[in-house]
Amino acid sequence: MYKLILCWRYLRTRWIALASVVSVTLGVATMIVVNSVMAGFSHEMQSRIHGVLSDLVFESHSLGGFPDARWHMEEILRTSGDDVLGMTATVAVPAMLNFQVRGQWVTRQVMFIGIDKKTHAQVGDFGRYLQHSLNREQLSFDLREGGYDTHDSQSDDPTPKRPAMEDAGWPHRRKRVERERIWREKLEAVDAAEHPTDKPIDTVFSATNNSANAEIEPLVPPVFENGDATDNALPSNETPATNDPFLVARPQEGRTMDPSQEQFVGIVPGIGLASYRDVSGVDRFLILPGDDVKVTFPTAGTPPKAVSDTFTIVDFYESKMSEYDSNFVFVPIESLQRMRGMIEPQTGIASVNAIQIKLKPGVNPEQVRDRLRRIFPAELYSVSTWRDKQGPLLAAVDMEMAVLNILLFMIIAVAGFGILAIFYMIVVEKTRDIGILKSLGASASGVAGIFLGYGLALGLVGAGAGLAIGLAITWNINSIRVGVEWLTGQRVFDPSIYYFFKIPTIVNPFTVSWIIFGAVVIAVGSSVLPAIRAARLHPVEALRHD
Amino acid sequence: MHVAGTGIDAPMMSVHGVRKSYRSGAGSLDVLCGVDLRLERGEFIAIKGQSGSGKSTLLHLMGLLDAPDSGEVRLAGERIDTLSSSRRDRLRNTSIGMVFQSYHLLPELSAMENVLAPLLVRYGVLDWIRFRSQARSRACELLERFGLGARMHHTPRQLSGGEMQRVAIARALVGRPQVLLADEPTGNLDSVSGAGILDTLGRLNREDGLSIVMVTHDDAIAARSDRIVRLVSGLVEDIGEPNDAVIVAA
């Protein structure tokens, strides 16, 4: 009983020991905050990766793909049907995306992915990342009559930061067509005045500096509101009559397409391909839903040939992962199969080069992967989990977390040395008291127990305070961030870099328990040597100590 | 050489042929050179000697705070110097009370808690819950008896020297020991306080029949005892004053 009383009394009266408590507190709080933030980041990243990729990807090594997706799906169901929740076929090829901005052709390297709009939502969170609410419910490759989000739907901030999306869709398309029609008419009028013999126009932006026509206003390209200038006007070496993208003949229907009423095959590019954020935090768009783009991609033949076609943007895809948002472009799988020549003419069976598989909750993806690998030969097919696909990235994050934890634990270990030094000092200070206790019949182990108990008490108090502070910081980290940014005037957390609008945190009770346990063990361990010294003191010598 | 008795007529405490030396530089210092001592039940003896004569060392050996190099220490006829450390700890807690010149109170505890200290050492948590009220009653009784009823909750820093020594005596008695060992109990006190302490010891011996061994270098203080034993540099210089002294050098 005396051990408890003396531990408690020393805890209350020995303020110097609180110095070691503070170091334990800071170490525990830091570890909790860092682990929670890292867990939040890791979880967000994994869920975004997992949202883009399905649980398993079954794919061919060849760009030409494999025929009869249905047969392959039946085989997959035959071996693992109990574990499969949904499947969808895809065709993915590298491609070049081309579009015009202010008369300049912009070319981007992309991954061109054909998806089945009916089944693709079964295997991932694709729908969640689209910018039109109706498309989020059910994807359509038809252009919408407005209604696109003017703010980031995945952010809590409803303030519109995408004003250009207000008219996206058919309104934008029709407006653009009308502007170009007006501009074309002006151009033709100038051309007719200057060249009555009906020569083709050879410049896109031509100001009339002819002194004979000085009163005619110089022509300027159409400029849209908010500076989003998209100009699908003709390239310099093309004539309007034959290369007007909006007057392309439709051989199937034998008539000229009216772009204000009709669209090309719909396409959904990643938002990173089409936009940028300015310094004021507003997203600016190079192209919008309703604009037309060209995509160049290889056919499925041997050797593959490059083909190009025009598509109409119907929505944007935003997963917050720059790797996907700046690379992926989605198109109806049937269109891509047709354009690439992946449909067998005699049978009509189309080839695909990947099957995405969604597993039921609780199913181990590695087990299903291994089972499928045994069925389908590795020379022809590749079966990977989503973790396998992103293995290096996830492994790097795990390594970072492990190294951080080791480094942070060393903070607590340093605190342990502080406890050791302070306890040693207290034992020296309490030498006579130890002699008194021994003269009253206290055993050596009992005296040691006082200091071990004191170390345990310090560890518990320090870890408890660290837990409270760590949780308080973690749960209010975004408010703290705002405060720090206001105080310092510096941006602490840039959403445009991390694609998060808030710092994500996840408090894992298991991790927190380990941190506290470790801190207490270090505190108790640090008090062992001083406790042994106290136990070994000779009572007579101790009583004589000043 | 007297042989210690056993059984009911055994002395309260006895020491036979005890030797003790300490290392000192290259050689050793012989503090006790074969000492015999008997303390009868209910007897109050004073061990007198100058500084360095070994009287405190003898008391420490009797109180089991140290072990003799040779010889025997017996309590109620039973040899106690060769017991295991846990049994020696237990004896110090239950059968032997000690009072020191410097009081040796625990500074973080109040007077009441200091008096309770031997019982706090004796009882674990569960036993303490069971015997707590009895222990507090005993401590209060002792403090009241020594005129410290109003100072129970004061810490040693708030007590005078005499009051601290009375708290120390109360602490030594709370466990109802068989023998009280007092090492220069008035050494740090003024004459008035010291006289008060001696009166207290005398009453404990006369009224409670407590066996007491008191170490002192003062003749006047030693004269308050029933019997005086003189110790000089570990050897007996004077024998039989005023009665039969039983310290014999081996």
Query: How many Å from the N-terminal Cα to the C-terminal Cα in chain B?
Result: 9
Query: How many Å from the N-terminal Cα to the C-terminal Cα in chain A?
Result: 27
Cβ distance A441 to B90 less than 8 Å, yes or no, reads yes
Instruction: Give the amino acid at A277.
Output: R
User: What 3-state DSSP class applies to A481?
Assistant: helix
Q: If you average pLDDT over every residue of chain B, what do you get? A: 84
How many CB atoms neighbour CB A410 within 10 A?
12
Cβ distance A440 to B92 less than 8 Å, yes or no, reads yes
| Residue of A331, A279, A314, A174 lying closest to A496 (CA atoms) | A279
pLDDT of residue A491: 74
Cβ distance A1 to B120 less than 8 Å, yes or no, reads yes
Among the ranges given (A228-232, A400-404, B81-85), the one the predictor scored with the smallest mean pLDDT: A228-232
Q: How far is CA A440 from the centre of its chain?
A: 68
Domain ranges of chain B: 1-95+178-250, 105-176
Task: Tell whether A11 lies on the interface with B, counting CB pairs under 8 A.
Answer: no
Secondary-structure class of domain B1-95+178-250 per CATH: alpha beta
Nearest-angstrom CA–CA distance, B152 and B140: 8
How many Cα atoms occupy the beta-carbon half-sphere of A68 within 13 Å?
A: 6
User: What 3-state DSSP class applies to A217?
Assistant: coil
Nearest-angstrom CA–CA distance, A321 and A333: 23
Residue pair B213/B220 in contact by the 8 Å Cβ criterion: no
Cβ distance A6 to B108 less than 8 Å, yes or no, reads yes
Where does the pLDDT of residue B60 fall: very low under 50, low under 70, confident under 90, or very high at 90 and above? very high
Q: How far is CA A461 from the centre of its chain?
A: 39
User: ipTM of the assembly?
Assistant: 0.88
pTM of the model: 0.66
**Per-residue pLDDT averaged across A56-60, rounded?**
89
Please tell me which residue of chain A has the smallest CA distance to B132: A1
Task: Tell whether B100 lies on the interface with A, counting CB pairs under 8 A.
Answer: yes
Nearest-angstrom CA–CA distance, A512 and A288: 47
Domain ranges of chain A: 2-47+393-544, 54-172+260-389, 173-243
pLDDT of residue B5: 44
Helix ranges restricted to H, A161-264 = 170-194, 240-243
Angle between helix B111-122 and helix B85-94 axes, rounded to 10 deg: 140
pLDDT for residue B230 is more than 80 = yes
Q: Quick one: tokens of A317?
A: 């895809």
Task: Tell whether A2 lies on the interface with B, counting CB pairs under 8 A.
Answer: yes
pLDDT for residue B94 is more than 70 = yes
User: Of residues A160 and B134, which shows the higher confidence score?
Assistant: B134
Q: Which residues pair with A330 in a beta bridge?
A: A113, A268
Over the stretch B132-168, which tens digit does the pLDDT of each residue have? 898 999 999 999 988 888 988 999 999 998 899 999 9
State the nearest Cα–Cα gap between B36 and chain A, in angstroms: 22
Residue pair A247/A257 in contact by the 8 Å Cβ criterion: yes
Buried b / exposed e across A189-208, counting CB within 10 Å, b at 16+? ebbeeeeeeeeebeebeeeb
Q: Which residues pair with A60 in a beta bridge?
A: A381
Residue pair A164/A226 in contact by the 8 Å Cβ criterion: yes
Over the stretch A324-358, which tens digit does the pLDDT of each residue have? 889 999 999 999 999 988 888 888 888 888 999 99
Task: Tell whether B93 lies on the interface with A, counting CB pairs under 8 A.
Answer: yes
User: Of residues B238 and A118, which shows the higher confidence score?
Assistant: A118
Task: Tell whether B105 lies on the interface with A, counting CB pairs under 8 A.
Answer: yes
Please tell me which residue of chain B has the smallest CA distance to A429: B107
Residue pair A161/A318 in contact by the 8 Å Cβ criterion: no
Query: What percent of chain A lies above the pLDDT cut of 70?
Result: 86
Cβ distance A439 to B98 less than 8 Å, yes or no, reads yes
For residue A543, give the nearest of B85, B100, B171 by CB distance.
Answer: B100
Over the stretch A494-533, which tens digit does the pLDDT of each residue have? 665 665 667 888 999 998 999 899 889 988 998 899 899 9
User: Of residues B36 and A316, which shows the higher confidence score?
Assistant: A316
